[in-house]
């Protein structure tokens, strides 16, 4: 069901602004998302770390299997339609379920520790480890900015809070769209 819904979504001007910022900054830019859709890539972003995985990929449910993650856009309406890995385990979406460790943390945390400007977009500020990212950035000297519809629970960790839809606020913030 989530794949069906996500497949009809399009990137907004905020996604496009982030892709253009990546074009301008190159290797000095990192984008980490909690979203499992592919909207950043659809907007043109190339270097996206999906800390909660990617909905349009599948992997073996057995973490010890070692098989490759595969691109998978199919929807499975019945359990009997879900494919099986050659190892004998059922395939699953390549996303992080509640209680599982987010992906790419070994790359995300060092990028946050090195950044000079840290921007969070639309996060509630309640779910860890992402809720701690702004404070990590600030403790390493970065300016931290929040953009979203309402103030996050971790508002104290930000230097600036810009309220409003990201599709309206990000293009003007970066002046690169």
Q: What are the tens digits of pLDDT across the range 155-170?
A: 999 999 999 999 999 9
CA distance readout (Å), 136 to 51, 87, 95: 17, 40, 25
Average pLDDT rounded to a whole number, residues 11-15: 95
Report whether pLDDT(60) > 60: yes
Q: What is the chain's mean pLDDT, rounded?
A: 93
Identify the pLDDT of residue 9: 85
Identify the pLDDT of residue 69: 93
Instruction: Give the integer Cα–Cα distance in Å for 42 and 97.
Output: 24
Given a contact cutoff of 8 angstroms between Cβ atoms, the answer to whether 92 and 59 are in contact is: yes
- Give the residue numbers marked as catalytic: 52
């Amino acid at each position: 069901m989530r794949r069906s819904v996500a497949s009809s979504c399009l990137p907004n001007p905020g996604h496009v602004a982030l892709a253009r910022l990546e074009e301008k900054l190159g290797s000095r830019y990192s984008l980490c998302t909690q979203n499992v859709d592919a909207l950043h890539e659809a907007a043109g972003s190339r270097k996206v770390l999906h800390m909660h995985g990617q909905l349009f990929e599948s992997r073996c449910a057995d973490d010890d299997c070692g098989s490759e993650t595969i691109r998978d856009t199919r929807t499975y309406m019945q359990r009997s339609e879900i494919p099986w890995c050659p190892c004998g385990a059922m395939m699953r979406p390549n996303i992080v379920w509640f209680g599982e460790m987010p992906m790419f943390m070994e790359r995300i945390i060092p990028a946050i520790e090195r950044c000079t400007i840290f921007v969070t977009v639309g996060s509630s500020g309640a779910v860890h480890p992402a809720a701690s990212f702004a404070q990590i950035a600030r403790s390493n000297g970065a300016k931290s900015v929040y953009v979203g519809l309402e103030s996050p629970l971790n508002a104290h960790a930000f230097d600036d809070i810009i309220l409003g839809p990201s599709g309206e606020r990000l293009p003007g913030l970066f002046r690169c769209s």
